[in-house]
Amino acid sequence: MKTPFDILSVSKDATDALIKKAYLQQVRQYPPERDPEQFQKIRDAFEMIKTQSQRLKYQLFHHEPPSLEALLDRALQVGPAQRPSEDLFTLALSESLKRKS
């Protein structure tokens, strides 16, 4: 799925002015009377990221859910065993000994 940044052909760190300029270029290329569907996509993308606060909100809350295949691959990854650090092991051991007392 394309992000608003992809639709407007701007980078994620683009300024408000650069996003507006890209939006206007896209609107000239796809005016509503010639391609209403594409125009609506462009308009929606612009509305989502036109200000710094809206871009931040978009980046924080709009994530594609991972696919089942990606989740399974990650869950079934085989790699070196993770050993706890000595400090973490000592802390866990002392905590368990305190509970037994």
Instruction: Identify whether 90 is part of a domain.
Output: no
Q: What is the pLDDT of residues 71-89, one digit of tens each?
A: 777 777 766 666 667 777 6
The rounded percent of the chain whose pLDDT value lies above 70 is: 82
Please tell me which of 8-17, 52-61, 63-72, 87-96 the model is most confident about, judged by mean pLDDT: 8-17
Does residue 44 belong to any structural domain of this protein? yes
Question: Quick one: which of 92, 21, 87, 93 has its CA closest to 8?
Answer: 21
d(CA 23, CA 35): 15
pLDDT tens digits, 25-54: 999 999 999 999 999 999 999 999 999 999
* Domain CATH for 34: 1.10.287.110
In order of 20, 42, 51, 53, the CA distances from 26 in angstroms are: 10, 7, 18, 22
- Between CA 5 and CA 11 the distance in angstroms is 6
In a domain, 19, yes or no: yes
Residue 75 lies in a domain: no
Angle at 74 between CA 68 and CA 76, to 5 degrees: 100
Selection from 50, 58, 43, 56 nearest residue 15 by Cα: 50
Q: In this structure, what DSSP letter does residue 23 have? A: H
